[in-house]
């Protein structure tokens, strides 16, 4: 019998390196779970999708973008052994916000999906609800006034829509909510237009640290009054490189006039923030 000591030693070294890699990755992941910071990621893909990672290892998806790009992006943000997304918030069921969530349901365990009162039905949305039911995922409707608190820090306060949305289109019935982490406030606005912004201006009185700009920076959103009322220090516009129409020049000029530091995914790529509860740190770009 012929022995191959070098090959055997090489194989043992290879196994040892794999063990070290898994151990270090898992240790780092456990440390991140115990961290007191939150991470917020705005993905650079077709459509719109964002991720919030909270202490305790809680992962929250807001929308899914178009196609399957989100699943590839999640592989970069989550450890290879983490195949769970705790919560999905669907702002509204248009293709560029919904389609990418199908692959998430295929490859990740999901605890709960939150939606709003959407006045219209669509084939894509109905298929999504069927898939969620098949996977035994709870689907819950949210409306203005609802609050969700997470066990290790972080809250979501729903601002819009009411239990029965008064408008007849997906965009203006988008789920709008305030994410609070310590003293930090981040406003997620879906694809609402100025007419919903005016309702929010009338009903709420607070300032935000970061604004996820409505409708990819559409000229029909982000009115000067809205920006003045909520006074964001920073803003993120999610608009893909293939989007010829967004963001609007009027919107960019409005942010510049208000001296709001603005990031745009089609220019800056994927955008990440760390929130420490009393400060926001831009990680990338």
Burial class of residue 276 (count of CB atoms within 10 Å of its CB; 0-12, 13-18, 19+): middle
> Which CATH number belongs to the domain containing residue 81 in this structure?
3.60.15.10
14 part of a folded domain: no
- Percent of the chain exceeding pLDDT 70 equals 88
Residue 17: CB atoms within 10 Å: 10
Give this prediction's pTM.
Answer: 0.88
44 part of a folded domain: yes
pLDDT digits (tens, 9 = 90+) for 40-94: 999 999 999 999 999 999 999 999 999 999 999 999 999 988 999 999 999 999 9
pLDDT greater than 90 at residue 244? no
Distance CA 285, CA 281 (A): 11
Strand partners, 212: 188, 236
Number of domains in the chain: 1
67 part of a folded domain: yes
211 part of a folded domain: yes
The pLDDT of 249-278, averaged and rounded, is: 97
pLDDT digits (tens, 9 = 90+) for 173-210: 999 999 999 999 999 999 999 999 999 999 999 999 99
Question: Please, which pLDDT band fits residue 8 given cuts at 50, 70 and 90?
Answer: low
For residue 242, give its domain range: 34-284
């Amino acid at each position: 019998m012929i022995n191959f000591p070098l090959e055997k030693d090489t194989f043992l070294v290879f196994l040892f390196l794999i063990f070290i890699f898994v151990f270090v990755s898992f240790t780092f992941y456990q440390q991140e779970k115990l961290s007191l910071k939150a991470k917020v990621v705005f993905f650079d893909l077709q459509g719109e999708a964002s991720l919030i990672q909270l202490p305790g290892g809680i992962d929250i998806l807001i929308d899914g973008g178009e196609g399957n790009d989100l699943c590839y992006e999640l592989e970069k943000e989550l450890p290879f052994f983490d195949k769970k997304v705790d919560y999905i918030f669907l702002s509204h069921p248009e293709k560029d916000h919904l389609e990418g969530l199908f692959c998430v349901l295929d490859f990740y365990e999901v605890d709960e999906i939150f939606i709003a009162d959407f006045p219209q039905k669509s084939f894509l949305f109905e298929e999504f609800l069927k898939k969620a039911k098949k996977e035994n995922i709870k689907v819950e409707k949210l409306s203005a006034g609802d609050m969700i608190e997470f066990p290790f820090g972080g809250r979501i306060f729903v601002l819009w829509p009411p239990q029965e949305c008064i408008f007849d289109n997906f965009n203006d019935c988008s789920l709008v909510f305030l994410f609070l982490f310590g003293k930090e406030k981040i406003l997620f606005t879906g694809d609402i237009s100025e007419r919903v912004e005016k309702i929010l201006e009338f009903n709420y009185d607070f300032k935000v640290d970061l604004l996820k700009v409505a409708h990819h920076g559409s000229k029909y959103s982000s009115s000067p009054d809205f920006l003045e009322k909520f006074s964001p220090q920073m803003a993120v516009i999610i608009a893909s490189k293939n989007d010829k129409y967004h963001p609007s020049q009027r919107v960019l000029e409005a942010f510049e006039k208000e001296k709001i530091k603005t990031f745009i995914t089609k220019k800056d790529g994927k955008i990440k923030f760390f929130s420490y509860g009393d400060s926001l740190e831009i990680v990338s770009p």
